Structure 1
Amino acid sequence: PAPPLPDGADLELEGLAPFLTPSTAFFRIDTALSVPRIDATAWTLRIHGRGATERRYSFDDLLNRSDLMERDITLACVSNPVGGSYIGNARWIGVPLAALLEEAGVRPPSEGGPADQIVSRSSDGMTIGTPVADVLDGRDAMLALGMNGRPLLPEHGFPVRMLVPGLYGYVSACKWIVEIELTTFDAFDAYWVPRGWSDRAPIKTQSRIDTPRPGARLDAGRVVVAGVAWAQRVGVDAVEVRVDDGPWRPARLAAEDTTDTWRQWVLEWEAGPGEHRLSVRATDRNGALQPGDESPPAPDGATGWHTIDVTVE
């Protein structure tokens, strides 16, 4: 099991996204025109390809493993604009993906393995390409069977989906997974690559203002400004907020769960009457500041500081 949430990880403020996103409110991005309905008792996963001894697993095989693990992991879509909602944080239950690959004899490229890409295939034919090195570097990559204490919902990949912390979903989070093939990036382009997206896409450091909402009309005086920030695999070290063209002010950070989850933050602002612009930026634990230059989601994730306008009366 995952450890209990640290005290103070969820600030429980009105208008702020809860630390754990309810499964029914979790974003959904995929190409399925209708949600696949898969019989878990008939489901199988095939692992094969370069450097792998073919293996097959049933749902019961995974469910009854002794290495099932529970982890809190934030998942983001590469199409998420700055300040967008295509991100969520959940408590996942699954099987370590690295263990399954090792059982098939897979070695990372750094140790002479002939494959540098995992191609995962869903029941509807979607292909997603993931670096082998990222799955085998010790992070909690998994084949997830559960979400927030329950089996996966059909729209979130039941019976099994893939999840790799630190990578955008389109290169890591195959839903309704039925096959894993070991290959190379030179030999195969997964679905989104010919459509203009990068074949490798680590999640970028980002921050978001949840409250107040853009265009809000506020009473003068104390205003709570709060949101979330994430820097997966590294962790958020600081969040700063700027009002108009004033100085950047440090926000108070909520307690950190893990570096693979987002982190809430809050700042109290003494707001005077008028039109105001609020901006936010984060710094990761390596001291790298979130890029302020604005770029669109394509080809490997949006950049820029989330900025909103409000009116104080």
Structure 2
Amino acid sequence: MRAGTGALSGLLSAGAALAVAELGAAFVRPEAGPLTAVGGAVIDRTPPAVKDWAVREFGTDDKLMLQAGILVLLALIALGLGGLALRLRRTAMAGVFAFGLLGAFAARHRAGAGYVDVLPSLLGGVAGAAALWWLTRPVVAVRARDRAFDRRAFLIAAGTVAAGSVVAGTAGRLIGNGRRASIAAFRNRIRLPAPAEPAPPLPAGVDLRLAGLSSFTTSNSDFYRVDTALVVPRVDVENWSLRIHGKGVRTPLTFSYHDLLRRPLIERDLTLTCVSNEVGGPYTGTARWLGVRLADLLREAGVRPPSRGGPADQLVSRSTDGMTIGTPVEVVMDGRDALLAIGMNGEPLPFEHGYPVRMVVPGLYGYVSACKWLKDLELTTFADYDAYWVKRTWSQQAPIKTQSRIDTPKPFARLRIGTPVPIAGIAWAQHRGVSAVEVAVDGGPWQPARLAEVPSTDTWRQWVWEWTPSTPGSHRIEVRATDAGGAVQTDKRVGTVPDGATGRHSVVVTVT
């Protein structure tokens, strides 16, 4: 009985600590909550191979799995501290408060954090230690006096702690939801201006409209999301600004959200790709982006590219969640449609994709170009500063590699002998363009696929090849693409680290 009481006391104390801490975070900022702060610290220290495995195995649920793992570990430790409290009460209470200190340390050392960020975890630690003292008091008291266990006193204490935790947690959730709802309502009222340079109409035949084939334009809800934010930032644009400063900047500039809306906007169809995308993977998508030309803003600030004598070769973008991304200055000023995007597929940026402002640079993997929730642009050099992922063994510069993917048929599909079947998919080589796609069956000769039209070299391209299987059994279908410069997609298989995966995608089907 006493062992079970101790374990339950530990769990209830941990629940009280989290509830009070999350209530405090609702008044400070969501990123100051202990789960978010500790989870962010874990992500920051996760080796790239483990991070890639998590993205590959759990996809966009990787952050949910991390938080679940932290909660499970916390529960196990709480069970142990609860048992310890029956023998070494003060030591166990110190252990509970130590976790508050850990959360405070993690919150304080997150990028952009202030001293106030330590308060939620410290308050949670105090509340958890106090709850453990109260919950174990009946057990310790009766043991000291050699009396029967006072079940009623324990149940009163447990019920009070549980109820208080529910009230605190619910209050924190309601306060946080209210703030998020207010920001969401403001976003929904935004009416984006008409672009000064609209995107050219999509050419006829840009979408082959085949069952199982990715559509040319990816909807906002289906667009991939890969980032390190455990809590999606909800930025209040009334208090938001973007600063451009640093080496070679003659005139530092600061823009509000409304300043950007009043500037000439351009609209472009662009494909983004994540460096975590394995061969044949899902982390690529095409959207119609609306934004300001980044090169125009840099020129207004007096920035010159290195090829014209500028002292800075790296543009470091900083996010409100602390992410830093380094982009070659030469690339964003070479004439391509590098944007500070404010719109995506006809609406303000979704929160998950960078509202209010993000960077979009065609031809570069996202980790060196696509900073979301943008707040700061600093001109510096690659020699002087390593951005977030570069510190974690990824390359400083990472142009997107030529890749192709088979969308249909799916792996292990069963096909009928003598029945024509479309082999179809997408290929991409942003800012170079795809000039050819070929398909081979069972290592046989390469067959040219029919290519869909494209609006520019900065988007992916659909392709299709019709195959009539004539032999029963298992068959391997492989695809390769050629970019506009004549370079053929390599068959050498390498992983995503340090600058993107290579190799050719294939699927195995069964013909009966």
Q: Same fold (TM over 0.5)?
A: yes
Query: Which structure features the higher share of helix residues?
Result: 2
Q: Which residue of 1 aligns with 2:257?
A: 59
What's the offset of the Cα at 1:285?
A: 1.2
Q: Which residue of 1 aligns with 2:433?
A: 235
Query: Which structure features the higher share of strand residues?
Result: 1
Q: Which residue of 1 aligns with 2:466?
A: 268
Could you give the per-residue CA deviations for residues 244-288 of structure 1, whole angstroms, max 9, x where no partner exists? 021100000001221000000001000132100000000111111
Could you give the per-residue CA deviations for residues 211-246 of structure 1, whole angstroms, max 9, x where no partner exists? 001111122221110000011111111000000021
Task: Determine whether 1:311 maps to 2:478.
Answer: no
Map 1:290-301 → 2, pairs under 5 A: 290-301=489-500
Q: Which consecutive aligned stretches of 4+ in structure 1 deviate over 3 angstroms post-superposition?
A: none
| Gapped regions of structure 1 (runs ≥ 5) | none
Q: Does the CA-based 8 Å contact 2:414-2:511 persist in structure 1?
A: yes
Cα distance in 2 for partners of 1:143, 1:76 equals: 17
| Gapped regions of structure 2 (runs ≥ 5) | 1-197
Cα distance in 2 for partners of 1:105, 1:120 equals: 18
Cα distance in 1 for partners of 2:393, 2:508 equals: 33
What secondary structure is seen at the aligned counterpart in 2 of 1:24?
A: coil
1:184 to 381, 391, 395: 381
Cα distance in 1 for partners of 2:396, 2:509 equals: 39
Q: Which residue of 2 aligns with 1:3?
A: 200
Q: Which residue of 2 aligns with 1:154?
A: 351
Task: Determine whether 1:281 maps to 2:506.
Answer: no
Task: Determine whether 1:140 maps to 2:342.
Answer: no
Map 1:243-254 → 2, pairs under 5 A: 243-254=441-452
Cα distance in 2 for partners of 1:256, 1:150 equals: 23
Identity across matched positions, percent: 66
1:23 to 212, 217, 220: 220
Q: Which residue of 1 aligns with 2:368?
A: 171
Map 1:88-99 → 2, pairs under 5 A: 88-99=285-296
Task: Determine whether 1:121 maps to 2:314.
Answer: no
What secondary structure is seen at the aligned counterpart in 2 of 1:170?
A: helix
What's the offset of the Cα at 1:16?
A: 0.2
- Counterpart AA for 1:244: D
Q: Which residue of 2 aligns with 1:197?
A: 394
Q: Which residue of 2 aligns with 1:213?
A: 410
Q: Which residue of 2 aligns with 1:80?
A: 277
Could you give the per-residue CA deviations for residues 285-311 of structure 1, whole angstroms, max 9, x where no partner exists? 111101111110110010001011111
Cα distance in 2 for partners of 1:42, 1:278 equals: 53
Cα distance in 2 for partners of 1:215, 1:299 equals: 31
- Counterpart AA for 2:483: D
Cα distance in 2 for partners of 1:8, 1:169 equals: 28
Q: What number of residue pairs does the alignment pair up?
A: 312
Could you give the per-residue CA deviations for residues 116-159 of structure 1, whole angstroms, max 9, x where no partner exists? 00000000110000000000000000000000001100000000
Q: Does the CA-based 8 Å contact 2:200-2:455 persist in structure 1?
A: no
Cα distance in 2 for partners of 1:194, 1:153 equals: 29
Q: Does the CA-based 8 Å contact 2:213-2:425 persist in structure 1?
A: yes
